[in-house]
Amino acid sequence: MCGIVGYIGPQTASPLIVSGLKRLEYRGYDSAGVCIVDGDSLTIHKQAGKVADLERVVDLSAIRGTLGVGHTRWATHGLPNDVNAHPHTDNDDAIAMVHNGIIENYLTIKKKLENAGYTFRSETDSEVLAVFIGMLYKTIGDLERAVQTALQEVEGTFGIVVVSTHDPNLMIAARRGSPLILGVGQDEFVVASDAAAIIAHTRQVVYLQENEMATITRQGFTTKTIANEATHSVVEEIAFELEEIEKGGFEHFMLKEIYEQPVTFHDGFRGRLRVDEGNVRLGGLSKVQDRLRSAQRIIITACGTSWHAALVGEYLIENLARIPVEVEYASEFRYRNPIIYPNDIVIAISQSGETADTLAAIREAKMKGATVLGMVNVVGSSIARETDAGVYLHAGPEIGVASTKAFTSQLCILTQFALFLGRMRDLPAEAGRTLAQGIAEIPDKIRQILDQSDAIKEIAMTFAQAPNVLYLGRGYQFPVALEGALKLKEISYIHAEGYPAAEMKHGPIALIDENMPVVFIATKDEIYDKVISNIEEVRARRGRVIAIASEGDTQIDRVADHVIRIPETQAMLAPILASIPLQLLAYYIAVERGCNVDMPRNLAKSVTVE
For 328, the 3-state DSSP assignment is strand
Stretch 365-369: mean pLDDT, rounded? 91
Among residues 22, 110, 489, 605, the one annotated as catalytic is 605
| 464 phi/psi in degrees, rounded to 5 | -65, -25
| Residue closest to 593 by CA, chosen among 496, 453, 459, 465 | 465
Q: Catalytic annotation on 595? A: no
Please check whether residue 178 is in contact with residue 189, taking contact to mean a CB–CB distance below 8 angstroms.
no
* 139: exposed, middle or buried (Cβ count in 10 Å: 0-12, 13-18, 19+): exposed
Structure confidence at residue 285 as a pLDDT band (50, 70, 90): very high
**Who contacts 466 (Cβ-Cβ below 8 Å, separation ≥6)?**
494, 515, 516, 517
Q: Give mean pLDDT, residues 259-268.
A: 96
Angstrom distance (rounded) from CA 496 to CA 506: 17
Q: What would the pLDDT profile of 544-570 be if each residue is shown by its tens digit? A: 999 999 999 989 999 999 999 999 999
Question: Of 346, 421, 412, whose CA–CA distance to 377 is shortest?
Answer: 412
**At residue 501, what are phi and psi to the nearest 5 degrees?**
-55, -40
Instruction: Specify the DSSP class assigned to residue 30.
Output: S
Q: How far apart are CA 314 and CA 311, in angstroms?
A: 5
As beta bridge partners, residue 212 has 175, 225
Euclidean distance between CA atoms 546 and 472, whole angstroms: 10
Asked if residue 415 lies in contact with residue 573, where contact means CB atoms within 8 angstroms, the answer is yes
Name, in order, each residue with C-beta under 8 angstroms of 203's C-beta and a sequence gap of 6 or more.
Answer: 237, 238
Q: How confident is the model at residue 436 (pLDDT cuts 50, 70, 90)?
A: very high
Task: Tell me the mean pLDDT in the region 297-313.
Answer: 96
Query: Is it the case that residue 505 has pLDDT exceeding 90?
Result: no
Average pLDDT over residues 573-600: 96
Is residue 190 within 8 A of residue 197, CB to CB? The reply is yes
Q: Which amino acid is at 85?
A: A
Q: What structural domains and CATH numbers belong to the chain?
A: 3-238 (3.60.20.10), 246-449 (3.40.50.10490), 452-610 (3.40.50.10490)
Q: How far apart (Å, rounded) are the C-alpha atoms in residues 484 and 494?
A: 12
Q: In the 8-state DSSP scheme, what is residue 79?
A: -
3-state helix, strand, coil in the chain (%, to 5): 40, 25, 35
Residue 610 confidence (pLDDT): 58
Which tens digit of pLDDT belongs to each residue from 134-164?
999 999 999 999 999 999 999 998 999 999 9
CB atoms closer than 10 angstroms to residue 203:
18
Count the alpha carbons within 13 Å of 68 in the hemisphere toward its beta carbon.
32
Whole-number pLDDT of residue 308: 98
Strand partners, 469: 496
Residues 6+ apart with CB under 8 A from 15: 60, 61
Can you tell me the mean pLDDT for 49-63?
Answer: 85
Taking the mean position of all CA atoms in its chain, how far away is CA 220? 32
> Is the predicted pLDDT of residue 1 greater than 80, yes or no?
no
Does residue 605 carry a catalytic annotation? yes
- Compute the distance between CA of residue 39 and CA of residue 168 in angstroms, rounded to an integer: 7
AA identity, residue 553: D
Short-list 214, 185, 269, 239, CA closest to 353: 239
Angle, vertex CA 48, rays to CA 253 and CA 39, nearest 5: 105
Q: Is the pLDDT of residue 604 over 80?
A: no
Tens of pLDDT, residue by residue over 238-250, are 877 777 777 888 9
Q: What percent of the chain has pLDDT over 90?
A: 73
pLDDT of residue 282: 94
Q: Which residues make Cβ contacts (< 8 Å) with residue 409, sequence separation at least 6?
A: 264, 265, 267, 268, 377, 393, 394, 395
Average pLDDT of the chain, as a whole number: 92
DSSP assignment of 214-278, as one string? EEEESS-EEEEETTS-B-----EE--S-GGGGS-TT-SSHHHHHHHTHHHHHHHHHTTTEETTTT
Chain segment 464-504, per-residue pLDDT in tens:
999 999 999 999 999 999 999 999 999 999 999 999 888 87
Mean pLDDT, range 387-407, rounded to an integer: 93
Given a contact cutoff of 8 angstroms between Cβ atoms, the answer to whether 518 and 546 are in contact is: yes
CA distance 22 to 182: 18
**Which of 138, 218, 144 shows the shortest CA–CA distance to 174?**
144
Which DSSP string do the residues of 190-209 spell out, in sequence order?
EEESSGGGTTTT-SEEEEPP
Q: 75 by DSSP, 3-state: which?
A: coil
**What is the pLDDT, as a whole number, of residue 26?**
77
225 CB neighbour count, 10 Å cutoff: 15
Specify burial of residue 235 (Cβ count, 10 A radius: 0-12, 13-18, 19+). Answer: exposed
Please give the Cα distance from 340 to 318 (Å, whole number): 19
Return the H-helix or E-strand segment holding 184. Answer: strand 181-184
Out of 2, 303, 412, 595, the active site residue is 2
| pLDDT grade for 609, boundaries at 50, 70 and 90 | low
